[in-house]
Amino acid sequence: MISSQCVSMASAAIRQARKEIDWLAVLPAQAAQAVLKTYFQAWKNCWDGRADAPGFKRRFRSVMSVDIPQGRDLNVTRVHRRWGMVNIPKVGRVRFRWTRDLPVGSHANKENRITGPRLVKDALGWHIAFRVQTLEPRPEPHTGPEVGIDMGITVPLALSDGDTRTHGEWLTEKEAAKLLRLEQRAAHRKRFRKRGERTSNRLRATYDQIAGLRARAKRKAADWQHRTTTGSPRSTA
Q: Are residues 173 and 208 in the same domain?
A: yes
9 domain-assigned: yes
Q: What is the pLDDT of residue 175?
A: 93
Q: What is the pLDDT of residue 8?
A: 78
Residue pLDDT, tens place only, 35-44: 788 888 888 8
Mean pLDDT over the full length of the chain? 82
Task: Write the burial class of residue 56 (CB in 10 Å: 0-12 exposed, 13-18 middle, 19+ buried).
Answer: exposed
21 domain-assigned: yes
Q: Give 235's pLDDT tier (boundaries 50, 70, 90).
A: very low
* Domain end (from 89, 111, 133): 133
Residue pLDDT, tens place only, 97-113: 998 888 887 777 878 88
Which SS3 state, helix, strand or coil, does residue 46 take? helix
Domain limits at 22? 4-55
Residue pLDDT, tens place only, 201-220: 888 899 989 999 999 998 88
Q: Are residues 43 and 82 in the same domain?
A: no
Q: Are residues 204 and 225 in the same domain?
A: yes
Residue pLDDT, tens place only, 6-32: 777 777 888 888 888 887 777 777 777
Which SS3 state, helix, strand or coil, does residue 49 take? coil
Q: Are residues 128 and 74 in the same domain?
A: yes
Q: What is the pLDDT of residue 237?
A: 39
88 domain-assigned: yes
Q: Are residues 46 and 79 in the same domain?
A: no
How far from chain centre, in Å, is Cα 22?
29
Q: Are residues 78 and 23 in the same domain?
A: no
CA distances from 5 to 12, 15, 39, 40, 41 (A): 10, 15, 15, 13, 15
- The total number of structural domains in the chain stands at 3
Q: Are residues 78 and 121 in the same domain?
A: yes
Pairing of strands 164-165, 64-67: unpaired
82 domain-assigned: yes
Backbone φ, ψ for residue 170 (5° rounding): -70, -30
Task: Decide: 66 and 35 in contact? Cβ < 8 Å.
Answer: no
